[in-house]
Amino acid sequence: MKIKNRTRKAQCCLLTVALIGMAATLSAAPVSPFALNARIVPRPVTPEDIILYTNSGLPANIEVSGGLSTFAIGTPAYLEVEVINNAADAATITNIAWSLTTPIGSSATLTASPLPTNMPVFLPSDRLLYQVSPVNGRMLLRPDVVGEYTVSATVTNTSGTTNVSASFHVGTYYGVFVCEGCHTDSPMPAGGYVPEIYTPWSTTAHASIFTKGVDGLLGTHYGVNCIKCHTTGYDTNASALLDGGFYGVAEEDGWTFPTNLANTNVAISNYSLMPQNLQSVANITCENCHGPGSQHILPAVEQFAGITLPTWPGLDIPYTVGACEQCHDDAPGHPQGTQWYASSHAVTTTTPTSARDVASGAAEYCVRCHTTAGFIAIVSNNAAGNGIITTTNVTYSAIGCQTCHEPHGLTVPTNDNYLLRVVASATFGDGTVITNGGEGNLCMNCHHSRNGSAVTNVANWLAGVPTWPGAAVPPSYRDFGPHDNPQGDMIEGINAITYGLTIPSSAHRLTVTNSCVGCHMQSIASTNSNGSKNPGFLLSGGHTWEMSYNVFTTNGSTITTNKIDQAGVCNQCHGGITNFDFPVEDYADVGVILGVQTEVQILLNELSMLLPLPGGTTPGGVVQSSITVGTNWTQAQLNAAYNWEFVSADGSLGVHNAPFATGLLKASIANLTGVSVPGGLPDEWVTNYFGSITNAAGAPDAVALDGIPNWLNYALGLNPNATNSILTLPNGVVYANGNALGGNTPTNTLEISTAADITFDTVAGMTYQIQEASSLSDGVWTDVGSPIVATNTASVSYLTPTVGNLQQYFRVVSTNTP
């Protein structure tokens, strides 16, 4: 093992030096006590935080922080006690007593935090669970010597107390050349090798951003303001000058930013003229994200043999976004983290890491897509991302930067500037391997139905067996339908109930570069063409992955919400559209071409009316916005329900793949109603009289041998192939353009608004007259049509128009005796 650069001896003895107790008397009305649930967290502070909260009292010159548990001497840790996020429960807290245990020689104390009270918990997902204690919830720690610091807090509420603590490694920066000494496949005395990290990292943009900038390769705008993020340990605070970071070493070595950036053709560059110590902490290196390395490196030197790397002390392995957002939450120049706040990834559900799921083993299956640590584990253990992992970190963390990006450059294609973890393929729940998605393959590793094959899912539901694939899931776990966000299946046009039909797909899966990424991460300008601020900049596109955003307008007490679609990315193929609900074709067969999303919603509504209501088994007949599948539904109902949930859960209402979405819905409606041809008559009736549902002679408006259209034959129960069927129709039943149907000039252009069907039994030889009245009070009855002479004993059905009648009464009278 080789060690470059200076070394410093760490001090590890501890001494309790401070106890801070602060109490507050609450005047609020008594509330019921709750079980204390608290934790101590180092809160990150980002450039965007400074912009947002300066007017609330946050100092404009405050130092940013990644919120790591390993940090340098002289740099701040913004500590907070977070409690369960419930205003009533938080109001029961009466006191927090803080204490600090420090290394020998330290005079550090906990002091008042500069963070304002209206500054919330850092992560959007954590805000759903925690809030900062309203009583003495924040403190500032600025350590002065290296070693371990332990911060404790006793939280007291009206029902008791709880003790929480957190330990922090404080060290100094050693620089990347020291890291290189081990992390180049160096052998360990106990066997094995230190992971090779330095070489792949050296090919990343982080490894050369400062070098390129100071050598003039990034343009003439590059200056001192850039290097606070492009170097390691840049902290101008006087107490941090001995931290080994870039600013302190530059001051010690007398280095100043060059007045002229070097031309790339000169033999000696600005970077090469810098002292080696300073070069070692230039660029974005290991210690930017893992914290200063002295507390990691010195134990490594002293205890190298037999140490297991994953448990090596003194460094952070961050899964949350704080390490990245100390630089990348700085719009408009570095807006990735700022955009991420507006994404659904920032608030992914914590359910998979609940106590129940962890205890049952289900968490190990779910966390692969619901937490950063879980996704990293599954990608590391199975490049296809579809295997069952039996051991992993089930600690909750939102889907953040490290989920998708591998910052060291490990196993990343050399031409991938974004350091994506896996882009070669995605394996879907039904076993299909997708390779045509480009960078979108990364997205599809999670954005597919993870409940296995659609056919198997329905079969398992019918059989009453587990529907989730994988041995790690206990038998009690059953979930019908596609499991959340099956966008990959929809785009590719696979893994739904197709009824043996070939259902077409759109060309999106083949023509959109990088599939999901090509649209959802479109670039949105920070300003409009007139120079005004673009409200959609941080709310759509980029790392929000959102395709639209909301604009709120206020008029008095009325708030109006307008959704703005970012349809510009579609215009390269679809022309000048301004929203996603643009007309394509009459998918829903309504007789007019509506917007594609409207057409899909019509079909979703129509199918939902054919499915039972919760607890029922027969069609509900009403539009349902969600489907509750019963265990006693028929297979036809389950097949249709699967497709309804598939299209609904996709969320795009046909934009991802309109032909496939509408084809599935229409096939499901046909299967439940027996009508396969859109707008057609029941398959059984058409096949019985015309041989095939595709025979044009069986179309509803086609005139049959009896001289009337098929739809009327079907409605009246007549044989369309019987030439004398018209003789059974009484005079004046239906008129078309003033002529009786079946006359010399039959027509197919019919319009019947309202009609009454009068059915009555007859006796042979009797004569019957149908009469109508608009009121029963005046006793005035008028004959309808001509008398009907019964030739046999049968029922007679008489259809008469009622257009324009507000109300109408009918009766049948006999005009003779048999």
Same domain, 167 and 181: no
| Structural domain containing residue 802 | 753-818
**Parts of the chain with a pLDDT under 70:** 1-36, 87-88, 186-192, 262-267, 299-313, 353-363, 381-393, 411-417, 469-477, 716, 723-754, 803-804, 806, 817-818
Assigned domain for 388 exists? yes
Assigned domain for 233 exists? yes
Q: What is the structure's pLDDT at 414? A: 52
Assigned domain for 32 exists? yes
- Radius of gyration for the alpha carbons in the chain, expressed in angstroms and rounded: 37
Q: What is the structure's pLDDT at 187? A: 67
Assigned domain for 579 exists? no
Same domain, 346 and 225: no
Q: What is the structure's pLDDT at 552? A: 85
Assigned domain for 259 exists? yes
Same domain, 151 and 182: no
Assigned domain for 801 exists? yes
Assigned domain for 648 exists? no
Same domain, 276 and 219: yes
Q: Work out whether strand 138-141 and strand 130-132 pair parallel, antiparallel, or are unpaired.
A: unpaired
Same domain, 142 and 189: no
Q: What is the structure's pLDDT at 447? A: 94
Same domain, 92 and 166: yes
Asked if 797 and 757 count as a contact pair (C-beta separation under 8 A), the reply is yes
Query: In 10 A of CB 769, how many CB atoms?
Result: 16
Same domain, 375 and 478: yes
What CATH number is associated with residue 155?
2.60.40
Q: Which amino acid belongs to residue 383?
A: A
Same domain, 352 and 472: yes
**CB under 8 Å, gap of 24 or more: what pairs does 122-127 form?**
122/41, 122/43, 122/44, 122/67, 122/322, 123/320, 123/321, 123/346, 123/398, 124/341, 124/346, 124/347, 124/398, 125/346, 125/347, 125/348, 125/350, 125/396, 125/398, 126/82, 127/85
Same domain, 478 and 375: yes
Same domain, 476 and 363: yes
Q: What is the structure's pLDDT at 12? A: 35
SS3 (DSSP) at 797: strand
Backbone angles phi, psi at 367, to 5 degrees: -65, -15
- Residue ending a domain, among 518, 543, 568, is 518
Same domain, 481 and 375: yes
Q: What is the structure's pLDDT at 753? A: 54
CA distance 190 to 337: 41
Same domain, 388 and 514: yes
User: How many domains does the chain divide into?
Assistant: 4
Q: What is the structure's pLDDT at 31? A: 36
- Residue ending a domain, among 148, 171, 194, is 171
For the chain, the straight-line distance linking the first and the last C-alpha, in angstroms and rounded, comes to 119
Cis peptide before 143 (omega within 30 of 0): no
Assigned domain for 675 exists? no
Q: What is the structure's pLDDT at 470? A: 53
Give the pLDDT confidence of 446-492 residue by residue, as tens digits. 999 988 899 999 999 999 888 876 544 555 567 899 988 999 999 99
SS3 (DSSP) at 772: strand
Q: What is the structure's pLDDT at 310? A: 45
Full-model pTM: 0.79
Query: In 10 A of CB 653, how many CB atoms?
Result: 21
